[in-house]
Structure 1
Amino acid sequence: MDWTSEARQELDLMPPDGQQLILAARAELVTATDPYYRGIDADVSLPHWITVRPLASTSPGGPHIADRAGGRGWLIYTFICRHAEPQITVTDAFWT
């Protein structure tokens, strides 16, 4: 998983509990077969505190948002499915 410099700075400034949830969400995303969790009930295997959806419903293959902890924070990321090395890039991280 790659991070834009802004998203990495946001992660570094979060309180420890926010950072732990971010890193747990990261683990879920990097181990998923399809980090966009496309399809009906595709995200049923995710922990109850994280949901994944397209950032814009008109762009299902574009950036996605992983909401965490009942709306207390999120990760916005893009996924490029490459055969040899899939790539996830976090472009925004937020915690309240």
Structure 2
Amino acid sequence: MTDDFMGPPWQLDWVEAARTYRDALPEEVRKQVREGVTELVTARNPYLPQDELPTGLYLEPARSSRPRGPHILAFDRGRGWLRFTFVHRAEDPQIVVEEIFWQ
């Protein structure tokens, strides 16, 4: 067994539609999205527990029956959310943001 485990910071990729939506948000909201995503890419486990997130952010599985599947990161005290998956490959593990919404 080797110690070649790739840890944080993880690579981050945005689905094109999510990136376009994110870029159209007001600057204040984009700042909150950046803060939330920064927490994900620097966490040892991107599906980190709720209590490790800053105030105003929370994290939960998209479906309780799939705890290692897509997750929802809510920001702006629940007014917005993004859905992401963590693709844990041997080479180049990454977080993929699939969808984002803000109201």
User: TM-score normalized by structure 2?
Assistant: 0.83
Instruction: Tell me by how many angstroms 1:45 deviates.
Output: 1.7
Q: Does 1:72 align with 2:79?
A: yes
**How many residue pairs are counted as aligned between the two chains?**
92
For each residue in 1:38-87, what CA deviation from the matched residue of structure 2 results, as whole angstroms up to 9, or x when unmatched? xxxx2312101111110011111111000112211011000012344221
TM-score by length of 1: 0.89
Select 1:60's aligned residue among 64, 67, 89. 67
Correspondence list, 1:2-81, <5 A = 2-37=13-48, 42-81=49-88
CA distance in 1, matches of 2:34, 2:27: 10
Q: Which residue of 2 aligns with 1:94?
A: 101
Aligned counterpart in structure 1 of residue 92 of structure 2, from 85, 88, 92: 85
Which has the larger Rg? 2
Residue segments in structure 1 that go unaligned for 5+ positions in a row: none
Give the whole-Å Cα distance in 2 for the aligned partners of 1:62 and 1:84.
19
What is the percent sequence identity of the aligned residues? 39
Give the RMSD, CA atoms, in angstroms.
1.1
Once residues 16 and 72 of structure 1 are traced to their aligned partners in structure 2, the CA distance between those partners, rounded to angstroms, is 15
